[in-house]
Amino acid sequence: MGKGGKSHQEGEENMAAWLVDLNTLKIQPFKLPPLGPHDVRVRMKAVGICGSDVHFLKTLRLADFVVKEPMVIGHECAGIIEEIGSEVKNLVPGDRVALEPGIGCWRCDICKEGRYNICPDMKFFATPPIHGSLARQVVHPADLCFKLPDNLSLEEGAMCEPLSVAVHACRRANIGPETNVLVMGAGPIGLVTLLAARAFGAPRIVIVDVDDYRLSVANNLGADGVVKVSTNMQDIPEEVERICEVMGAVGVHVTFDCAGFNKTMSTALSATRAGGKVCLVGLGHNEMTVPLTPAAAREVDIIGIFRYKNTWPLCIELLRSGKIDVKPLITHRFGFSQKEVEEAFETSARGGDAIKVMFNLRLSTR
């Protein structure tokens, strides 16, 4: 878990970005726990900002998770092994690794079934009360640290986290060479879902958003079609018609709603062909009013996803082989000073041309 932080290098105090109050981040000391036999100590080098990090900053809560006391933020991360526990056999100091941020209990029936991502006792970076990874160093289980090949940067390693969401969604929806895909939302998760669906073999992918710039990014990443939509519920029938025209005669087999709002989910359910699937990836609204009965009458299946499971090895291979390139998504980079942390979160929250904002906790880009 984000087990926390005191540096083991004499004279160096471990520092982290703490969410201390509404819209308030402070770089403060972060004491690390003792290194367990199966743990490693990792010096963080690249940490991305996720929408959930921004949401916690702006509201101090996300769904049922409430920040009740100061918490270290961040969970999209990669770094370099500095120390290993006595029983760690697969990693050595100096290894460059991407960190999977969630730790299941491995005692409950859900974990034993292999679906540890929905473990009720999951300990996940920067999900209250667990501390995150926007820190100089963290302690983490070795089996959740995945060695990066030489041709991948640490920034790409950090991008394995958002990419894992997309890979898990594609697995859940059984994306393949006969699956036409519609993606609702061209934010960071929508764009990695586009990339993952293509890597899984989807022959035609259409992406929808309200923002021209993000649709242009989707075009550059290889979307077969883009549709600009409004935020007005009354526009859904006309927009569904346009989506279906752009997709073509075969229609939409699977829609990924990467926003999770009333309008996006209603559009998804209406645009997906009979017998298709809608995969709810984004969790924008806790409750929605959607046309469920008409969708059920067409046997449109609704699939939920939450985080991911066993995705890091595949993500790393997709990046290593060049089947997926996430580098164009990293639009802004910041260092790790108080001023830069504040500016980075402001940039991410503002949106616009900011897709993925990345912290470089180092001098070089590797």
pLDDT tens string 110-169: 999 999 999 999 999 999 999 999 999 999 999 999 999 999 999 999 999 999 999 999
Contact 66, 128 (CB under 8 A): yes
Secondary element (H or E) of residue 138: strand 137-141
Torsion (CA) 61, 361, 321, 39 in degrees, nearest 10? -70
Q: What are phi and psi of 16, to 5 degrees?
A: -145, 160
Contact 60, 141 (CB under 8 A): no
What pLDDT is stored for residue 94 in this prediction?
A: 98
Secondary element (H or E) of residue 219: helix 212-220
pLDDT greater than 80 at residue 4: no
**Length of the chain, please?**
366
CA distance linking residue 366 with residue 353, whole number of Å: 24
* Residue among 207, 265, 270, 206 at smallest CA distance from 241: 270
**Pairing outcome for strands 181-184 and 205-209:** parallel
* Residue among 138, 24, 129, 18 at smallest CA distance from 73: 18
What pLDDT is stored for residue 5 in this prediction?
A: 39
Percent of the chain with pLDDT over 70: 96
* Residue among 195, 198, 205, 200 at smallest CA distance from 174: 200
Q: Which two tokens stand for residue 5?
A: 């932080």
Task: Report pLDDT digits (tens) over 319-347.
Answer: 999 999 999 999 999 999 999 999 999 99
Within 10 angstroms of residue 220's Cβ, the number of other Cβ atoms is 10
Residue 42: beta bridge partners? Answer: 81, 138
The mean pLDDT value of the chain amounts to 94
pLDDT greater than 60 at residue 363: no
Task: Report pLDDT digits (tens) over 309-320.
Answer: 999 999 999 999
Residues near 354 by Cβ (< 8 Å), separated by ≥ 6?
331, 332, 347, 348
Percent of the chain with pLDDT over 90: 92
* Residue among 57, 74, 328 at smallest CA distance from 188: 328
What pLDDT is stored for residue 279 in this prediction?
A: 98
Task: Report pLDDT digits (tens) over 268-325.
Answer: 999 999 999 999 999 888 889 999 999 999 999 999 999 999 999 999 999 999 999 9
* Residue among 84, 170, 58, 78 at smallest CA distance from 125: 78
The order of strands in the sheet holding 181-184 is 225-228, 205-209, 181-184, 252-257, 272-280, 301-304
pLDDT greater than 90 at residue 172: yes
What pLDDT is stored for residue 285 in this prediction?
A: 84
* Residue among 309, 306, 357 at smallest CA distance from 63: 306
What pLDDT is stored for residue 139 in this prediction?
A: 98
Give me the domains of the chain, ranges plus CATH numbers. 15-147+326-360 (3.90.180.10), 173-304 (3.40.50.720)
What pLDDT is stored for residue 286 in this prediction?
A: 84
Contact 50, 35 (CB under 8 A): no
What pLDDT is stored for residue 63 in this prediction?
A: 81
Amino acid at 161: E
Q: Kindly report which listed range (2-6, 101-105, 171-175) carries the lowest average pLDDT score.
A: 2-6
pLDDT greater than 70 at residue 357: yes
Region 158-185 average pLDDT = 98
Q: Can you state the angle between helices 188-199 and 160-172, rounded to 10 degrees? A: 60
What pLDDT is stored for residue 153 in this prediction?
A: 98
If pLDDT is split at 50, 70 and 90, which confidence band does 250 have?
very high
How far the first Cα of the chain sits from its last, in Å, is 25
The counts of H helices and E strands in the chain are 11, 20
Contact 128, 64 (CB under 8 A): no
CA distance linking residue 309 with residue 32, whole number of Å: 26
What pLDDT is stored for residue 12 in this prediction?
A: 74
Q: What are phi and psi of 35, to 5 degrees?
A: -75, 120
- Determine the 3-state secondary structure of 20 from DSSP: strand
